[in-house]
A and B are shown apart, each in its own frame.
Chain A
Amino acid sequence: MTTLLEVNGLVKHFVAERSLLGRALAHVKAVDGVSFSLEAGKTLALVGESGCGKSTVSRLVLRLIEPDAGTVRFDGRDLLSLDANALRAFRREAQIIFQDPYASLNPRMTVGQILTEPLALHDLVPPARRTERVAELLRLVGLEPRLSRRYPHEFSGGQRQRIAIARALAVEPKLIICDEPVSALDVSIRSQILNLLRELQDRLGLAYIFVSHDLAVVKHIADHVAVMNLGQIVETAEADALFAAPRHPYSRALLSAIPVPKPQAKRSRIVLQGEIPSALNPPPGCRFHTRCPYVIERCRREMPQLMPDGTGHATACHRTSDVPSSAAIVPMDGGFSPVLEKLVAAFSGGSEAARSGGVSS
């Protein structure tokens, strides 16, 4: 597998307060030393609570905002040294879709215009063939080509998100950053978009950075997960490994809190006490120590480093080796009952399956 994206020591501090003379008085440490890498065709999920810096990371990776320090290498190139022209060329290879499909599409352009714009901008398709390509893109995301004359307001939320995905796909990118792409959508629509994202990944070999606070969705879509807290990655692992046995106390609390669609699910929920500290003035030492149930003196003084264990699982915690086992922390929903399993299969299988399997009456 080839490494598509390599991020090293990324830092972004926003100025929160200035003096009369314009000197910075306070900084929000939105991203503070974040490193990760992503292979082509794979999905990395960034998870964490609001304000942990996950969206800032995704914007830094695209150079939509400039980092204060660190490096981003994409396909072997150093992104931070690119000039304006080279940066525009890079945008062909990496795209982003946002949470709110209502806000991210221009209401005054038809869907056809929205999808033609990137084709023209990057001069990808000769003008004569653009209508054809727009139709192809719409079909790719499961919309009918005749809809290209309509305006965004004529579509539902799920359809708009499909249009946003089609626009991202127009330039044939290698990487798409999905920033909470399904958070604003209803459950049944959400599953359609998740299925679509997966299918496109298989067909086009896309890599995703998937930013989300919905952990069940992350479990479903991600190959690799990085858990962020206050601007730093506290744990990173293969998705299956993380969900089987989270190590960092913060990941444990996060995963233990997932509500599962099963009454009386077995769980040992860790309810965190206290408020999330402000990124304006993060606590010294480990940034999680104010809420950590396993805090010791060392955590208050010394910031733990992200330590890999050799199996691709890395944790930034002084107590990784001596906290209790994490078995049974992630709630188990036990799967569907056998009847429900069959019903869901029949529901998805379409009418033929249901009718032939169930001609009872």
Chain B
Amino acid sequence: MSASPLIEIKDLRIRFHGDDGRVTHAVDSVDLSVANGATLGLVGESGCGKSVTSLAIMGLLPKQSAEITGAIRFDGFDLLTTPDQTLRDLRGNRLAMIFQEPMTSLNPSFTIGDQIIETILRHRGGSRKSARDRAIDLLRRVHIPSPERRIDEYPHKLSGGMRQRVMIAMALACDPRLLIADEPTTALDVTLQAQILELMRELKAASGAAIILITHDLGVVAEVCDEVAVMYAGEIVERAPVDELFSAPQHPYTVGLLGSIPRLDHRAEQLATIEGMVPNMAQPPAGCRFAARCPFALDACTRAPPPLLEVSPGHLSRCIRAPLELLVS
């Protein structure tokens, strides 16, 4: 990792205060950094805190109920203390985000052109004419056929794959330094997914932007990410370069996840399963949060929370039984 990463998250903690006084620990002591031009995969199952982390980066969490501590340093700013006005200048400009549901993130009553042009005018200024030309150019870059015509269409006229490409075009409108993509291909068919992933790779190569890809699909991670962080119950349980994560995972949860995917190469009679349930995050367990579901757990695991330690250079695991090879050798 280079000397100064583009974005650096330090000890991020997010708590939600419910109306009934309940406090949910959504994210706990998350440390992350992404270098320029790198792609970080943020992996985990529903409710593990991966999307909340990304919303915190974008400053999109509700101020009344979300208590956020820690630091998110991006491009000389601490995003958690940056005034709203400055954040608005950053969002859509140097920081951009793509969401899973392209239909709910596009405004149905404006043409896609209007929506892209608005972004360009807000951050770059200039004439409407030049903004329109740039919008057409962006649509062409994301392979929308006949962009001169499509630019005046409304979102409902486009297919799901095209809408997602419009979202990407909009996110790229101001050449962001960091692109956060939250499950960008989950709603799409495999053929479209392949197109969108190819597109993201192309764009990264062309612009050198960093990408944080949030997904639950380990196949997608293997294809586009350089580094992976696995989240479980609000914590990062493992962080590793992509090759290492898939060849020698160091956290039992990652092992369980990898074992539970059906594979193309051989037909396992039984897939691995992770028994039990995610802990209640209003009262997180005292020790390791995965211990109750972990077949490798010892008594020590339930006593104190395990630290995130380096197992090998660049490979961190929050498991006191790592390195896991020793368990099976």
**A residues lining the B interface (CB < 8 Å):** 49-50, 156-157, 186-192, 194-195, 198, 213, 215-217, 219-221, 243, 253-254, 256-265, 269, 271-272, 274-276, 330-337, 339-340, 342-351, 353-355, 357-358, 360-361
Contacts and interface: CB of A to CB of B under 8 A. Distances in A.
Contacts of B246: 261-263, 340
B248 A337 contact: yes
B158 to A, nearest CB: 9
Given A49-B191, A188-B260, A346 B295 contact: yes
A79 B324 CA distance: 56
A215 B194 CA distance: 13
14 contacts: A186-B46, A191-B260, A191-B272, A219-B264, A259-B194, A261-B219, A271-B194, A275-B161, A275-B162, A339-B247, A339-B248, A345-B328, A347-B259, A355-B296
A194 B272 CA distance: 10
B261 A261 contact: yes
Interface string B253-264: 001111111111
Contacts of A190: 260
B1 interface: no
B263 A261 contact: yes
Interface of B: 45-46, 145, 159-162, 189-195, 197-198, 216-223, 242-243, 246-249, 252, 255-274, 277, 295-297, 321, 324-329
A333 B265 contact: yes
A339 B277 CA distance: 27
Contacts of B160: 50
Nearest to A258: B190
A187 B216 contact: yes
Given A271-B191, A344-B259, 6 more contacts: A49-B190, A187-B261, A259-B194, A259-B197, A333-B264, A354-B295
Contacts of B259: 191, 344, 347-348
A206 to B, nearest CB: 17
B326 A351 contact: no
Contact of B257 (A187, A257, A259, A271): A187
B272 A347 contact: yes
A122 to B, nearest CB: 33
B72 to A, nearest CB: 27
